[in-house]
Amino acid sequence: MENKTFTISVYSENNVGLLNRISGIFLKRHINILSLNVSESEIENVSRFIIVVDTTEKWVRNIVGQIEKQIEVIKAFYHVDEETIFLESALFKINSSLLFDERQIQNIIKESHSEIVTVSRDFFVISKSGRRSEIEELYEKLKPFGIMQFVRSGRISVSKEKMEISTLLEELS
């Protein structure tokens, strides 16, 4: 089996220590987590973990099974990229003088469909949402001008197909 990028969605109660136990499942198998995001879900009082890994389907199936054994976990799913709609967000902090002195910076912002979030005397901040490759491309274009700070979020995603989590929760109620 060949390695692929998988997005794992975990619906759970929001309990202290669960993130540590879930990351331990990956650690035991020597599988690196490429991206991790935890937030509220569409279901009240239920959190959703989005975990991105590069591994085989056999391993991801095994991992999802181990995650579902955690008491607080309601349900876990995994998808390949083609089965999800996903993106990441990034912020770039750049020296303000470049915004006015370098016409090319304005063109880069416009062509990359980024937006300026704030401008101050010393710096301005650009926001970009999209696929990782789009963010990396913007990074490479801005790098020669000097990036003061850079941060990228973990992946957020929704599945293209209906996920039966809401139906499952209704049945448990």
Helix (H) or strand (E) holding 10: strand 4-12
Q: For residue 151, what pLDDT band results from cuts at 50, 70 and 90?
A: very high
The 10 Å CB-count burial string (b at 16+, else e) for 68-84 is eebebbbbbbbbeeeeb
Is residue 82 over pLDDT 70?
Answer: yes
Distance CA 131, CA 155 (A): 9
pTM: 0.83
Per-residue pLDDT tens digits for 84-130? 999 999 999 999 988 888 789 999 999 999 999 999 999 999 999 99
- Give the dihedral of Cα atoms 16, 22, 24, 25; nearest 10 deg: 150
Question: In terms of C-beta density within 10 A (0-12 exposed, 13-18 middle, 19 or more buried), how is residue 137 classed?
Answer: middle
Contacting residues for 169 by C-beta, under 8 A, at least 6 apart? 43, 46, 74
